Amino acid sequence: MMNMKSLLREMLEIYSPSGKEEKLVDFLQPVMEGLGYHTRRDKTGNLIGRTGRGNTKVLLLGHLDTVEGKIPVRESAGNIYGRGAVDAKSPLAAFIGAGSQFAGSSKVEVTVVGVVEEETSSKGAHAARDVLSPDYVVVGEPSSWNGITLGYRGSIQLSYSHSVSKTHRGEGTPLPAEEAVSFFHLLRKNFGSGPTGFNSNDVRLTDITTEKEPFRDSVDMILDIRTSNDFDREKLREFIKNHRGQASVETTRGIPPVRSSKRSRLVSALIGGIREVGGKPSFKLKTGTADMNILAESWEVPIVAYGPGDSSLDHTPDEHLELEELSRAREVLAKALRRLEESGGS
């Protein structure tokens, strides 16, 4: 059986922010080949490895990229530190380790995919969605080894731009930056002022810049709306129309929220795996978004997110994983896959 700690450490040593995942693929591809996977790279840069030959097709999809910011890799008191230790190289390592145990299976086919640019464009997930057709899907995100993530909120991004001829400050005419901030506060009041949580909407100002030219004042602002199932997009369109003034406001198509049922063979298999390893299963609904949203929009199959780690450490300078979690997660996944194999997908 492969050394999971060594695999993860080598993965963490390879810095792979979004758009720069190739070196990690160069490392992982021969590793996976050595474990019995048949591998290939697609045009987007995704790494795809298949093992087993069964009719039941299970997809374990993690992401290769991380957010920016190097963290020196080190081990201390049973923890390993490094960018991606939680989000999300450890789930991908657990996928590789678990799937490798099914190289000789005639009942289940396990496909492990490392996708690119999850932290930015989700280009890798879109590409995988267009060519794969699994029966069950597990997305690699930290849930803790005994947790199963059933849902994520959706998101819509707004780009606000406003530019006017320069006026004398003494006139009292609102400046573009002031109008932008007023738009943000009014948007938050109408769409994101309630309690936070999976069933709420949340408006955040993620970036704002101003530019002063000799004869013009300009502002550009990016707003991020996290949406629940009952979010009213038509109401948002009307709000923008009525309150943007002379500014230009553009929205993305948006990522819909996703919430999976507890009543599926996949969830049952993971619950059984967690209990076999000595854990008490728990369910989570997350307030962010992930590639699970992208995949669930097109695939009407059981889908959850799972992986070792504490998601509150995502993107932080203190990102680290308790190494024992990695081994437990790999074991849980292997036992869950065995249950799906034995059931024959029925």
Q: What tens digit of pLDDT does each residue of 294-306 get? A: 999 999 999 999 9
* 263-283 mean pLDDT: 98
Do residues 95 and 10 make contact, with C-beta atoms less than 8 angstroms apart?
no
Q: Tell whether the model's pLDDT for residue 1 goes beyond 80.
A: no
* 48-77 mean pLDDT: 97
Q: Phi first, then psi: give them for residue 155, nearest 5 degrees.
A: -150, 150
Q: What are the Cα distances from residue 166, in Å, to 175, 212, 242, 329? A: 9, 9, 24, 59
Report DSSP letters for 230-285, one per residue. Answer: T--HHHHHHHHHHH-TTSEEEE---B--EE--S-SHHHHHHHHHHHHTT---EEEE
* 96-117 mean pLDDT: 97
Q: Tell whether the model's pLDDT for residue 345 goes beyond 50.
A: no
CA dihedral 75, 81, 82, 83 (to 10 degrees): 170
* 164-189 mean pLDDT: 88
Interatomic CA distance for residues 134 and 123, integer angstroms: 19
Written as six digits, the tokens of 173 are 């005419």
Q: What share of the chain is helix, strand, coil (3-state, %, to 5)?
A: 35, 30, 40
pLDDT at position 346 is 43
Pairing of strands 136-140, 303-306: parallel
Cα angle value 129/135/141 (rounded, 5°): 60
Q: Tell whether the model's pLDDT for residue 269 goes beyond 90.
A: yes
Cα angle value 152/17/201 (rounded, 5°): 25
Interatomic CA distance for residues 216 and 204, integer angstroms: 27
Q: What is the mean pLDDT of the chain?
A: 95
Listed in sequence order, the residues at least 6 apart from 131 whose beta carbon sits closer than 8 Å to its beta carbon are 42
Q: How confident is the model at residue 192 (pLDDT cuts 50, 70, 90)?
A: confident
* 29-51 mean pLDDT: 98
Structural domains of the chain, with CATH: 4-152+257-343 (3.40.630.10), 154-251 (3.30.70.360)
- For the annotated catalytic residues, the residue numbers are 65, 118
pLDDT at position 194 is 65
Residues of the chain with pLDDT > 70: what percent? 97
Cβ neighbours around 56 below 10 Å, total: 22
pLDDT at position 193 is 61
Cross-strand pairs, 310: none
pLDDT digits (tens, 9 = 90+) for 63-96: 999 999 999 999 999 999 999 999 999 999 999 9
Higher pLDDT, 294 or 170: 294
pLDDT digits (tens, 9 = 90+) for 211-225: 988 889 999 999 999
Q: Tell whether the model's pLDDT for residue 2 goes beyond 80.
A: no
Q: How confident is the model at residue 334 (pLDDT cuts 50, 70, 90)?
A: very high
Interatomic CA distance for residues 148 and 153, integer angstroms: 16
Cα angle value 337/65/120 (rounded, 5°): 115
* 230-239 mean pLDDT: 95
* 114-142 mean pLDDT: 97
